[in-house]
Structure 1
């Protein structure tokens, strides 16, 4: 999976990686990656409510961003991410281009980019990010992974993004762990139900 991340963003000044074991077979863990919803997460919605507060104070409606029925792909797309890779079996890579330090979330991302446009984007003053989510065999079950990488297109963007990252990274990591926890619970529940139905 890291090879696909390298393909989309070979260089990155900032990156985080989180993983966790799941007591479920890899196929069920991989399916849960895409089917998990925001309503199954503990901290995602409160943190997104906090992140979108400046937008709402400025009169922009971000209500759809925190809708509980959104699955992993829908939810990320609502936040401005684009699908770069959606591999059968669970691997998912999404990307964004923008200026996330801006208070209004809708104005902080460049909308409507194709994967090819994402790859070619090099306009000064922006950052490019990728978010990978995948499952692989691990012990008696599976291991879930998420990795985030961010690249600044020029030194000015790097200077703008660095303090933002220092503030937001602990909360971003909390959201990633929350996501993996929700995926794990869904996969384990599905595995139990499958055993009981036999």
Structure 2
């Protein structure tokens, strides 16, 4: 939308090989909706909780979806009030993660065998969005990840939509009376 800033995810990972975007309309200010995003717990998103439980991750009742769980998957990159950005870098096979901050690696590294991963939760223009971008630094790594992506994408999409619906429900419950 005109006047909105570019997302930090777009700035750090403008290109990708794999991408998944989910969105849901949520009224309220970015601060209100993002506060709800950080407060939403796994019991509020039962489908997401069930799907994530399959992986063996800690999704106990007091754990927050965005603030706790996603933070464990990578490094939080500072953004504006309207976005939570998580970034990770993984070496493929015997390739080690290159030195540097995740942000530096995302923007500068072209070493073969690396997966650059970014995922955000953002509220802008009345929409709560989650977007994931993955970029492989070489063709072999891209092909290997494509097989994994084929198997997880559907469940990942269900998980993200369940999370967004739970965040929306909390934001509506906690919305100040206007």
Give 5+ residue unaligned stretches, structure 2: none
- Answer yes or no: is the 8 Å Cα contact 1:132–1:148 preserved in 2: yes
Secondary structure at the residue paired with 1:86?
coil
Aligned residue number for residue 83 of structure 2: 91
- 1:155 paired with 2:133, answer no
Higher helix share: 1
- Pairwise CA RMSD of aligned residues? 2.6
**Whole-angstrom CA distance in 2 between matches of 1:172 and 1:118:** 25
Give 5+ residue unaligned stretches, structure 1: 53-61, 103-108
Secondary structure at the residue paired with 1:173?
helix
Aligned residue number for residue 101 of structure 2: 114
**Whole-angstrom CA distance in 2 between matches of 1:85 and 1:190:** 25
**Whole-angstrom CA distance in 1 between matches of 2:105 and 2:42:** 26
CA gap of 1:20–1:155, structure 2 versus 1, over 3 A, is: same
**Whole-angstrom CA distance in 1 between matches of 2:60 and 2:147:** 29
Question: Among 98, 108, 124, which residue is 2:112 paired with?
Answer: 124
Q: Deviations over 1:131-173 (max 9, x none)?
A: 1211123xxxx32111111101111111110011111011111
- 1:70 paired with 2:74, answer no
CA offset at residue 2 of structure 1? 4.6
Aligned residue number for residue 156 of structure 2: 172
**Whole-angstrom CA distance in 2 between matches of 1:91 and 1:99:** 26
Aligned residue number for residue 37 of structure 1: 41
* Count, aligned residues: 169
CA offset at residue 4 of structure 1? 2.1
Q: Deviations over 1:82-140 (max 9, x none)?
A: 112332x231111112268x9xxxxxx96x97334433444322311111211123xxx
- Answer yes or no: is the 8 Å Cα contact 2:12–2:103 preserved in 1: no
Aligned residue number for residue 81 of structure 1: 74
Per the normalisation by structure 2, the TM-score is 0.81
Per the normalisation by structure 1, the TM-score is 0.74
- Answer yes or no: is the 8 Å Cα contact 1:82–1:113 preserved in 2: no
Q: Deviations over 1:166-196 (max 9, x none)?
A: 11011111111011101101100001xx32x
